[in-house]
Amino acid sequence: MRTELRGLWPPVATPFADNGALNEGALAGHGKALLADGAAGLAILGTTSEGNSLTVAERHRAIDACLEVGIPAARLMPGTGSCALGDAAALTRHAGDVGAAGALLLPPFYYKAVNDDGLFAFVDGVIEACAGKVPPIMLYHIPPFAVVGWSRDLIGRLCDAFPGVIVGVKDSSGDADHTLGLIKAFPQLAVFPGNETYLLRALAAGAAGNISATANINAAGISSLIAHWRDDDAEERQREAIAVRAAASARGMIPSLKAVLAARYGDPAWRNVRPPLLPLDDSAQAALLADPLIVALGGTVTA
């Protein structure tokens, strides 16, 4: 297992200006704050990042913006998946060019009736197009959103075909048994549950860490659970993390996280999301920000 692919890798929320443009400065500042709060690295341009609502050029630029403020490439794992093989290859190659710790690769998700041969051909095409500049690849399994997923048979086939390139799986199935099965079947891979609700069980089984949306507002809490999962108070840390996730997800995860970040950073523009998502309405935002669990997290991130 690659030692750098361990710990907490928040799927970093993407800030947008009021005109809808990517706010590079706020993105970089938030990334630095998450690292200061204990994150091992940053999984930018994923689902929580609204990555699929950004153009290829914007995603390319987001990677560079993080590098330009001194965030090391080795602490970046950008999402590079796309339904278009050429777009996925271009972003994956850029991640390799800059020396990123890895690339988080979705399957091409538009066509649903595809088999493992088609998905294998897609990954093969991405790797070949990188022309020797391919970064370590983390397969991103999120069937609740993508429907199309990486089967266990396909993961094994990809590992055999591309040893040292396929290095892990982010499992956002939401199924603890599925995650635990991957950990057991692929001890050579870094397996990350995509939320923290069963993180303690996964860590005990050998999970590498966590890639969770709520790390945007609870990086210190989740990273502490990862660091201290063997301690006597680990169960209590787990319960606290579950409670924070429940509070954040009750009104829609991404708009809720952005509402909390808007309050935390004193910047109303953090509420902005890209269509088809919409920001929380004022009443929902007020209720969220009044939740004692959310209030308690107010000082967690330091800009």
Catalytic residue set:
47, 110, 140, 170
Phi, psi of 238 (to 5 degrees): -65, -45
Q: What is the DSSP letter of 11?
A: -
Q: What is the spatial distance between Cα 123 and Cα 119, in angstroms, rounded to a whole number?
A: 6
What does each C-alpha distance from 261 to 107, 113, 170, 228, 296 come to in angstroms? 30, 39, 24, 26, 13
Q: What is the spatial distance between Cα 19 and Cα 37, in angstroms, rounded to a whole number?
A: 30
Cβ neighbour number for residue 26 with a 10 Å cutoff: 21
Q: What is the spatial distance between Cα 295 and Cα 303, in angstroms, rounded to a whole number?
A: 17
Q: What does the buried/exposed string (b/e) look like for 156-188 if buried means 16 or more CB atoms within 10 Å of the residue's CB?
A: ebbbeeeeebbbbbbbbbeebebbbebbeebee
